A = this chain, B = another copy of it.
Amino acid sequence: MTQTPSATERIEIERACERIVYAYSRALDLGDMSAAADFFAENGSFARPMAPDKVIQGREAIRAALLTRPKTLLTKHLATNVIIDVVSRDEARGLSYLTMISTTLPGDAAPPYVSAGPVYFGEIKDRFVREGGEWKILERRGSVQMKFSGAAAP
């Protein structure tokens, strides 16, 4: 079995990995942290954008970490500028921009909920692996470079 994907296979791999980037963001924003954890390989590792030096090892440890998120937190994770590099039929790398904003759900209001910011601007480096026919995140490293709260903020 060759490791060199055809043009069509290459595009399919790129699309599958892009989709993970978007679907993972969506799981976080739905507050479905266990579904987010399921995007990782069993031996996957993760450093959150806000804690880039703290690597969490293994899907179940990632799940436990994600599940500590307060249930009243509402987030929006915008993933843009997604570039996927296909390494082989079963390996790929990803680079994407993450723009994140959150707020705490009030008990009594209706959407759209007001966020006081900040808007965070960061990036995500991924390694993807195909396991049993399914693409998973083997390694995810986040970082945040900038934040914006509005001109009047300190």
Contacts and interface: CB of A to CB of B under 8 A. Distances in A.
Interface string A49-84: 000000000000000000000000010111111110
A95 interface: yes
List 6 tightest A-B contacts by C-beta distance, closest first.
Answer: A150-B150, A152-B152, A149-B151, A151-B153, A112-B144, A22-B81
Interface residues of A, number: 51
A149 B146 contact: no
Nearest to A120: B112
A115 interface: yes
Nearest to A152: B152
Interface in A71-115: 74, 76-83, 95, 97, 99, 101, 103, 111-115
